[in-house]
Structure 1
Amino acid sequence: MKNVHVVHALLAAALFGASTPFAKLLVGEMSPWLLAGLLYLGSGLGLGVARLIRDRGWRPSGLAAGEWPWLLGAIFFGGVLGPLALMFGLTLSSGSTASLLLNLEAVLTAVIAWVVFKENADRRIVLGMLAIVAGGVVLSWSGGEAGTREWSGPLAIVAGCLCWAIDNNLTRRVSASDALFIAGAKGAVAGTVNVGLAFALGASLPGGAILLGTMAVGLLGYGISLVLFVLALRGLGTARTGAYFSTAPFIGAAVSLLLLGESTSPAFWIAAALMGWGVWLHLTEHHEHEHVHEPMAHSHPHIHDAHHRHQHDFAWNGDEPHEHWHRHEAMVHKHPHFPDIHHRHPH
């Protein structure tokens, strides 16, 4: 199952990374606030329709009462503040520079996961994060524009990364629930709020072709990408998912160079090399030790592996994966693992 979650994270990165230069093209067509809102609204509407088709009608979210504050916090930071900061930063930065700076999201995600939520980190992960930070510093320091524009754009993008880092850690708390609902709810609520605020500030909708194009970019780069990201969180934990997701800026930078015809400086390639080394360290991590599973009960799609050796109190046709409420008894064993929804133990 690990390889499946890695694929989820890398596909999420590819979709989000490619969306950044397309957003750079669109940012001149409308206000940053309206653009951020339409990107998320496209995500929410598209995923909402997909969920209705999948479930053949409306189905409750399945979230427990204690999970709603985590989801609402994730929507506020990741759906409202994060994209607004990014869209503002794109107006003052090149698409390739913005794409590489987005690597800092993985660093900030991991720091919050380690410091606040006590997720495990080994030397390889920490060294990789330091390499990514060094790349971001080189990239920001080398901005060739004068005055406040040299820093305001990169700083706005870093602020967006911090918002998404908070979002990632909050989303992990609900990652065992329906990923399509989580991503769709974030898109619908965040998109509606941002579009409403943009209208209140005097913005107006762009032409039909640009409107549909913006919402399509949002569905792919923010909606489907987020669904895959939530699935990866479920299996890899926050910091590791962020590490795999940090490949997104390289995809965005490559698309920017091809699509926008942007030029690069030696500092750009130095930053790319540092960030690439950091990502490689993350992708080659191996974590194994004897650990204890405390008793717990929850519901999520699963197969009957070493962590799911339970009986069913209902008729089951043997299909896997399947989903139902189940209980885990206490157990002790050793195997390679990540801090997923079954491995949130101290070290």
Structure 2
Amino acid sequence: MNTSVMYALAAAALFGASTPLAKVLGTQIQPVMLAGLLYLGSGLGLLGVRVLRDRGWSRSGLTAREWPWLVGAILFGGILGPVALMFGLTRTSGATASLMLNLEPVLTALLAWVVFKENADRRVVAGMLAIIVGGIVLSWPTGPAASGGHSWFGPVAVALACFCWAVDNNLTRKVSASDALYIAGAKGLFAGLVNCAIALTLGAQVPVLGVLSPTLLIGFLGYGVSLVLFVLALRGLGAARTGAYFSTAPFLGAAVSIVLLGESVSWLFWLAAAFMVAGVWLHLTERHDHSHQHIEHAHTHRHSHDEHHQHEHGQEVGANESHTHPHVHQAIRHNHPHFPDIHHRHRH
């Protein structure tokens, strides 16, 4: 299995598990404060890991042209998206909101294909649709929750949140070659501070230490580590494919609920599983191969000396040794199977 695919599925598993894990802990926190603390746990944890990794604070490595993309991703994904969701949840049922959240991978893919010109073939589209149908089946309203009456404004707010996260996914793709720890840590820290400030303004209280600590830990794992893996997946797969794999998160979260909480399994769960497995299989068996042109460009990311990285160093570096430094890609034309990764963002 492609390493980037494993990153995307692992990101989905961690994010999907965050909800049932919070339920196990029995945390009782106001929604906006909860969102803020989860993001804050993500940002503080990841930036702490980065300081330990680099033995002190180091520069972001982002270029002047990349900063607007990151700022935009933080604004849309870490601030506007959560606020719109929390606002929508107060005016619609949880079941309706769960169905509406399936818009995120659709909007992510549409923006990636229409605005950012990622390639899409029939197999990829079919796989994405199968995963989305699985998500709809899994979150289909049943019982009393299905008939709750709410205004149209709630679903519109949830849809707006999905659009914000779709923009976030595509903007983050633009900086995915940079340090994933810094990108995810910065997004978590700024989003956490803003959302906590909004919650405090609305009258929310900071929970006691016994609730605060596990909440921050869940945020670090379910939002922080998950986002690092998501950025690494964006680097290798592009936004549309990563978004499709990540949309398996509700199914993986439900699986965790079944294992940890002993929740019963309905036939809808297995039907959703069938759709999602089919969608993942369609993506895993995709083969995109054609002659393509690489234009000359410079960037920084961890790499080894493969066919896309043939350059000299001031010091000797092993053929398969992974290392990081600014480097220039010369213009070349060749033919091989590829994804819309950081080296293959060409038009079709």
Contact 1:301 1:321 in 2 (8 A): yes
Deviation per residue, 1:268-293 (Å, 9 max, x gap): 54444334432332222111111111
Structure 1 stretch displaced more, 196-205 or 249-258: 249-258
Give me the whole-angstrom Cα distance separating, in 2, the residues matched to 1:132 and 1:3. Answer: 19
Alignment partner, residue 126 of structure 1: 125
Give me the whole-angstrom Cα distance separating, in 2, the residues matched to 1:257 and 1:108. Answer: 30
Give me the whole-angstrom Cα distance separating, in 2, the residues matched to 1:101 and 1:262. Answer: 24
Give me the whole-angstrom Cα distance separating, in 1, the residues matched to 2:45 and 2:123. Answer: 39
TM-score (normalised: structure 1)? 0.88
Cα shift at 1:89: 6.9
Contact 1:143 1:150 in 2 (8 A): no
Alignment partner, residue 198 of structure 1: 199
Alignment partner, residue 342 of structure 1: 343
- What is the identity, as a one-letter code, of the residue corresponding to 1:342? H
Give me the whole-angstrom Cα distance separating, in 1, the residues matched to 2:316 and 2:66. Answer: 28
Give me the whole-angstrom Cα distance separating, in 1, the residues matched to 2:151 and 2:252. Answer: 24
Contact 1:32 1:88 in 2 (8 A): no
- 1:82-231 equivalence runs, <5 A: 82-85=81-84, 92-93=93-94, 98=98, 104-138=103-137, 142-144=141-143, 145=145, 146-148=147-149, 158-231=159-232
Deviation per residue, 1:139-159 (Å, 9 max, x gap): 566443223359888776554
Alignment partner, residue 36 of structure 1: 35
- What is the identity, as a one-letter code, of the residue corresponding to 2:237? L
Give me the whole-angstrom Cα distance separating, in 2, the residues matched to 1:65 and 1:8. Answer: 28
Task: Give the CA RMSD over aligned residues.
Answer: 2.9
Distance change (3 Å), C-alpha of 1:11 and 1:124: same
Cα shift at 1:30: 1.4
Contact 1:235 1:341 in 2 (8 A): yes
Distance change (3 Å), C-alpha of 1:103 and 1:158: same
Q: Tell me, which stretches of 5 or more residues in structure 1 are unaligned?
A: none
- What is the identity, as a one-letter code, of the residue corresponding to 2:56? G
Q: Tell me, which stretches of 5 or more residues in structure 2 are unaligned?
A: none
Give me the whole-angstrom Cα distance separating, in 2, the residues matched to 1:149 and 1:270. Answer: 28
- SS of the residue corresponding to residue 328 of structure 2 reads strand
Distance change (3 Å), C-alpha of 1:154 and 1:133: farther
- SS of the residue corresponding to residue 346 of structure 2 reads coil
Give me the whole-angstrom Cα distance separating, in 2, the residues matched to 1:18 and 1:87. Answer: 20
- Percent sequence identity is 65
- SS of the residue corresponding to residue 148 of structure 1 reads coil
Structure 1 stretch displaced more, 259-268 or 107-116: 259-268
Contact 1:244 1:283 in 2 (8 A): no
- Count the aligned residue pairs: 343
Contact 2:296 2:330 in 1 (8 A): yes
Distance change (3 Å), C-alpha of 1:345 and 1:317: closer
Give me the whole-angstrom Cα distance separating, in 1, the residues matched to 2:255 and 2:164. Answer: 25
Cα shift at 1:130: 2.6
- SS of the residue corresponding to residue 59 of structure 1 reads coil
Contact 2:30 2:204 in 1 (8 A): yes
Give me the whole-angstrom Cα distance separating, in 2, the residues matched to 1:276 and 1:125. Answer: 14
Deviation per residue, 1:2-25 (Å, 9 max, x gap): 822222222212111111223456
- SS of the residue corresponding to residue 66 of structure 1 reads coil
- SS of the residue corresponding to residue 76 of structure 2 reads helix
Distance change (3 Å), C-alpha of 1:330 and 1:272: same
Cα shift at 1:93: 2.5
Contact 1:26 1:35 in 2 (8 A): no
Distance change (3 Å), C-alpha of 1:279 and 1:152: farther
- 1:174-323 equivalence runs, <5 A: 174-260=175-261, 262=263, 266-312=267-313, 314-318=314-318, 320-323=321-324
- What is the identity, as a one-letter code, of the residue corresponding to 1:224? V
Deviation per residue, 1:98-143 (Å, 9 max, x gap): 4x87554333211110011010000011112233444455556644
- SS of the residue corresponding to residue 334 of structure 1 reads strand
- SS of the residue corresponding to residue 2 of structure 2 reads helix
Distance change (3 Å), C-alpha of 1:208 and 1:332: same
- SS of the residue corresponding to residue 203 of structure 2 reads coil
Structure 1 stretch displaced more, 27-36 or 188-197: 27-36
- What is the identity, as a one-letter code, of the residue corresponding to 2:284? L
Is 2:343 the counterpart of 1:332? no
TM-score (normalised: structure 2)? 0.88
Give me the whole-angstrom Cα distance separating, in 2, the residues matched to 1:56 and 1:183. Answer: 19
Give me the whole-angstrom Cα distance separating, in 2, the residues matched to 1:86 and 1:279. Answer: 27
Alignment partner, residue 15 of structure 1: 14
- What is the identity, as a one-letter code, of the residue corresponding to 2:315? A
